[in-house]
Structure 1
Amino acid sequence: MTILYVVTLTYIKPLEEVDAHIPAHIEWLKQGYADGVFLASGRQVPRVGGVILAQCASKELLLERLRHDPFSQNNLVETVITAFEPSMCAEALKTLL
């Protein structure tokens, strides 16, 4: 059984404050990809936050990783994690199941 997580980050501070931390946030994201935890990420449209699609051994481990996000460490975002068990997916994503 594969559990995936949709992480929704919603900005709670002005974009000027968020923008100052984007380089550190990007480095943090790159580490998540290198570790095989993050599958996709990007800005919400309109730009009110971001979304990360993740796979992780447990929600607790994902929460620990999210605590190291510069956006979280600087109280720039509210974070919501939605776990789901995929029952169908596109052919290109079959390796996730």
Structure 2
Amino acid sequence: MFVIASTYTRPLSRDEAVVSEHLAFVDRCYDDGKFVASGPRQPFTGGLIIAHGDNEDQVRALMQDDPFVRDGVAHYEFMSFRPSKAIHPDLVE
């Protein structure tokens, strides 16, 4: 499992169309079972995603399809972790 932390490179108010495309990308990742949780950080400087993936290369490749990456709206940091306890047993590796 991976925590993906994004940091915005500019105010999102300039990029409404890209934000809509990003949200559609996020929805597809949930539909495909890739994302577990996501949302904006507080303060609103980026976001966090908890994602399933076999390895970091796979998760990085997935995120290359994010319109935020394509348009340089955000950059991502990837952190791998192995859940030892979770609210749902299927989340424990």
TM-score over 0.5 (shorter chain): yes
The yes-or-no answer on 1:36 pairing with 2:33 is yes
TM-score normalised by structure 2 residue count: 0.90
The aligned length equals: 92
Is residue 83–residue 91 contact of structure 2 (8 Å, CA) maintained in 1?
Answer: no
Query: Which position in structure 2 is the counterpart of 1:27?
Result: 24
Q: Structure 1 residue 67 and structure 2 residue 45: aligned?
A: no
- Partners of 2:12 and 2:24 lie apart in 1 by 19
Partner of 1:56: 53
The Cα offsets for residues 28-85 of structure 1, whole Å up to 9 and x where unpaired, read as 0011011111011101111101110001122111111100100010001120010001
- Structure 1 SS opposite 2:80: strand
CA RMSD of aligned residues (A): 1.2
Show the counterpart of 1:94: 89
Runs of 5+ unmatched residues, structure 1: none
Of all paired residues, the percent bearing the same amino acid is 28
Runs of 4+ in 1 over 6 A off after TM superposition: none
Separation of aligned partners in 1, 2:50 and 2:18: 21
**Bigger relative contact order, structure 1 or 2, given CA contacts below 8 A and separation 6+?**
1
| Inter-partner Cα distance in structure 2 for 1:66 and 1:17 | 21
